[in-house]
Amino acid sequence: MTRNPYRIIVVKDGEEHIRQFSIGKLPFILLFVFMIASGTSIFLLFTDYYSHQEYQNKLVQLQTDNTQLIKKIEFQEEKINQFVERLDTIISQDKVLRDLIKLPQIHDDIRKVGVGGSTSPEESSLEYLLPDSNHQIDLKAFSRTIDYYNRLANLEYMIYDEILETVKTDVKRYRSYPAVYPINLNEAKISSTYGYRRDPFKRRKQFHPGHDFSADRGTHVLATADGVVKESKYYGTFGNYIEIDHGYGIRTIYGHLSKRIVKKGDKIERGEFIGTVGNTGRSTAPHVHYEVLYKNKNTDPANYYFVDYLN
Ligand SMILES: [Zn+2]
């Protein structure tokens, strides 16, 4: 048996020269084992390095994503804060409005309890979402906060609906109130007021149930409030006569007109042109005779004008 039974032959590419090494059985096995072991080690080292590198890359990616997410959440928080500020403004305006139109105030407790849920704005701080925070990220709390303000906004919406309805009713009533003159005072002047006066025909004191506005024939006569034309006709001593029903027990009448523009049943708005000044019926000069009746009784038109009628 040869002492070195194994031979390692090394051939360099492109050269004819061949190197040979004789080696014993044991060293050969040791060399073989060493090569396998170092190969495996190198393989494992590289694998570990690469997986670690991959982990690092993923970590960096996650940190980047996380920063972006936090930025997005902060941006949302900013938007929510703006929304809450606007909501606060609406709530203060609502209080002022209620005061103006004599609606009972909504108690702050109702705003808090009425919307349900116990999340108060203090709990809505998003600091717990930040990386330095010791708190855990609680997106549920974030979502609850948004829900809370959504319900608050909804309550405020219903409250505004109620205010709007009340204002609408009040506006209708206000517009049915004969608050203006039946004629432009730049084109007319009051020639007779409400009460007892010397009758121009009978030469004795007689009750005058309205206001007379003298003006040129043809001057426009205007409805003093919203309503429906109840009469438009020639009516004895009134001459050409228009009567408007404003609802709420209020009626106005306009007499001695030269022309009637509207007919019975017409819907009229305040300030609408309804006829022209004339001298029809029992009248000595062109003028409009104007009366305001409340629950079928004559009342002083001066009590209804929203401006000083002597101006
Ligand atoms: Zn009169």
> pLDDT tens digits, the chain, 311 residues: what are they?
556 778 878 888 877 778 888 888 888 889 889 999 999 999 999 998 999 999 989 988 988 888 888 888 888 888 888 888 888 888 877 777 777 666 778 777 777 655 544 444 444 455 544 555 454 556 777 777 778 888 888 888 888 888 888 877 778 888 888 988 999 999 999 999 999 887 666 677 889 999 999 999 999 999 999 999 999 999 999 999 999 999 999 999 999 999 999 999 999 999 999 999 999 999 999 999 999 999 999 999 988 887 644 43
Long-range residue pairs from 253-256, CB within 8 A, at least 24 positions apart, any chain: 253/210, 253/289, 253/290, 253/291, 253/293, 254/182, 254/221, 254/288, 254/289, 254/290, 255/281, 255/288, 255/289, 255/290, 255/291, 256/280, 256/281, 256/283, 256/286, 256/287, 256/288, 256/289
Q: How many helices (H) and strands (E) does the chain have?
A: 3, 14
Domain residue extents for the chain: 6-66, 78-175, 188-303
* Angle (nearest 5°) at CA 147 between 145 and 149: 75
Is the domain 188-303 a CATH 2.30.30.40 member?
no
What is the maximum span of the chain, computed from C-alpha positions, in angstroms? 170
Residues bordering ligand 1, an ion, CB closer than 5 Å: 212, 289
Q: 175: CA distance to ligand 1 center in Å?
A: 25
Residue 197 Cα to ligand 1 midpoint, Å, equals 11
Find the 6 Cα to ligand 1 centroid distance in Å: 145
Distance 248 CA to ligand 1 centre (A): 24
Residue with tokens 């390095």: 49
94: closest CA among 83, 84, 104, 85?
A: 104
Q: Rounded to the nearest 5 degrees, what angle is found at the Cα of 265, between the Cα atoms of 260 and 269?
A: 75
**Residue carrying structure tokens 């494992």:** 44
The predicted model scores a pTM of 0.53
> Amino acid letter at 198?
R
Distance (angstroms) between ligand 1 centre and the Cα of 226 equals 22
Calculate how far, in angstroms, residue 301's C-alpha sits from the geometric centre of ligand 1.
Answer: 12
HSE-CB at 165 with a 13 A cutoff on CA atoms is 7
